[in-house]
Structure 1
Amino acid sequence: MSDAERWQGLVGPTGGGPVMRLASASNDAGSGSGGTGRLKHSKGPWTSASGTADDLRTRAATSRSVLGRGHEGVEAGAVGLGSVAALRSVLKSWEERLQAVRDECEQLKGNLLTVAKEMGESETGVKSSLKGVQVPGKADEKR
């Protein structure tokens, strides 16, 4: 059985009404879905989110570097103060947190780009498989 035949089985027999309808693609004004009759996908939000994760990764790395530079010379200028050890501990803690944020954002960036790519490829595959589906009343419409 071809992809087109499988889709035809889902849409419904020739001359009959659809046996399956997606709420987001409904033309029925009473359905409450607000659909347009066309289910659309865009990889834009996934790509945008990936860019945001990359920006956050860069800012975390920059902040970590700036934080380290801001503490340079503090130990030499505060010799003998008990707060130096506490300050060193807080600095180390923040450096570790910022490094963890940077690392997680780097991984998230890649994962989001992968989803965008896979969704785009999936959309192309579905569109291609639907070309052979005959929808009653839509025979003259160009796909």
Structure 2
Amino acid sequence: MTTQGDLPAHWQQLFGGPPAMRLASATAAGGGGGGGEADLAHSGGPWTKASVAAGELRVTTAEGLGKMSAAHEGIAAGTAGLGATAALAAVRESWERRVSAVRDECGSVQGALLNVAREIGEVDVNNKVAFSQLVIKQDADR
């Protein structure tokens, strides 16, 4: 593994100072989280919200497919013999496949995200219980 000091001078000029890592939600060094809290909170929030968004997108795409189907009813009969009718049907079939794939993927992702939210929530609850027991034990030892 190469460290910053092992790089040739011209590479060090390109890369600048040593690399730093921090949580996206954290403020500058020593500060708390972006919301003003010092805790890293992940349960009850982003995973659940992402699951809800995926579910809403699944429903919206399903509704869109229904509207698209209704909008095309009777077009083939009313425009029989026109070249544009076949082209329109091909485009519609292509979009139906794509939107259906998005709908199906959102349904799949929705469940996976919800499972992660549940698992993280269970871990958080277990950690909270373990820490509270530790505090009680420390208070008893004093």
Is the structural similarity TM-score above 0.5? yes
**Matched residue pairs, number?**
111
**Structure 1 spans left out of the alignment, 5+ residues:** 1-22, 25-29
Opposite residue 112 of structure 1, the aligned amino acid is L
In the TM superposition, structure 1's runs of 4+ consecutive aligned residues that sit over 6 Å from their partners are none
- Report what 1:101 is aligned to: 102
Deviation of 1:84 after TM superposition, in Å, equals: 1.0
State the partner residue of 2:46.
45
CA spacing shift, 1:38–1:49, aligned 2, 3 Å:
closer
- Give the letter aligned to residue 33 of structure 1: G
Residues of 1 paired with 2:110 and 2:118: CA distance?
12
**1:44-100 CA distance string (max 9 Å, x none):** 221121111111100100100110111111111111111111111001011111111
Letter in 1 for 2:29: S
Q: Which whole-Å CA distance do the structure 1 matches of 2:39 and 2:110 have between them?
A: 30
Residues 37 and 90 (structure 1 numbering): CA distance in 2 closer, same or farther, change over 3 Å? Answer: closer
Percent of paired sites with the same residue: 43
The verdict on how the C-alpha distance between 1:34 and 1:84 changes in structure 2, with shifts beyond 3 A counting, is same
Query: How far apart in 2 are the matches of 1:114 and 1:89?
Result: 38
Distance 1:127 1:109, change over 3 A: same
* Structure 1 segment 1-143 matched on structure 2, within 5 A: 31-35=29-33, 36-133=37-134
Shift of 1:38: 3.6
- Partner amino acid, structure 1, of 2:100: Q
What is the CA RMSD across the aligned residues, in angstroms? 2.7
Structure 2 unpaired stretches of 5+: 1-21
Q: TM-score, normalised by structure 2?
A: 0.67
